[in-house]
């Protein structure tokens, strides 16, 4: 959860709240750092490793879970991209906020980091609590 909040608010909020000189409030920078540290922890944690493991290293249940998380990641990231595309059209019509070049690069960085971390996040959210039987 720290990763999603840190990256989402840190990058998007930082881009929107940055001043004309490109400076952003310190809170958004701290949230970015929190999100990045959380992503690093997830990448080296077991679920992050399972998301990158080869088929031979996983049993059938783990492969199915990994594959489901990648499908859902793809769906989420495509939806987010189309949301940005729709906003870019609407923003021109209503004179809404659009990022400058530096803000756009920041947003792209946050999008890329989130897309790499999302399969592990999904696997963590879908993991059964200790002692609960599988519904299969």
Each residue's pLDDT tens digit, 29-76 = 898 888 888 888 887 887 778 888 888 888 998 899 999 999 999 999
CA–CA dist 86, 101 (Å, integer): 19
Q: Which of 85, 135, 92 is nearest to 111 (CA)?
A: 85
Check residue 95 and give its pLDDT. 92
**Mean pLDDT score, 77-102:** 93
Check residue 128 and give its pLDDT. 58
Check residue 73 and give its pLDDT. 94
Please count the residues of the chain. 136
- Token readout for 100 is 């400058």
Q: pTM to 2 decimals?
A: 0.76
Residue 1 clears pLDDT 60, i.e. is over it: yes
CA–CA dist 64, 57 (Å, integer): 13
């Amino acid at each position: 959860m720290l990763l999603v909040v840190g990256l989402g608010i840190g990058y998007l909020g930082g881009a929107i709240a940055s001043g004309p000189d490109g400076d952003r409030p310190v809170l958004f920078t701290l949230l970015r750092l929190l999100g990045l540290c959380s992503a690093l922890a997830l990448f080296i944690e077991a679920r992050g490793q399972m998301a990158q493991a080869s088929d031979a290293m996983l049993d059938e249940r783990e492969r199915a879970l990994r594959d489901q998380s990648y499908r859902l990641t793809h769906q989420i990231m495509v939806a987010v991209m189309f949301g940005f595309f729709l906003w870019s059209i609407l923003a021109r019509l209503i004179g809404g906020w659009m990022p400058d070049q530096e803000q756009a690069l920041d947003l792209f960085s946050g999008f890329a980091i989130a897309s790499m971390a999302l399969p592990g996040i999904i696997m963590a959210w879908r993991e059964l609590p200790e002692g609960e039987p599988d519904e299969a």
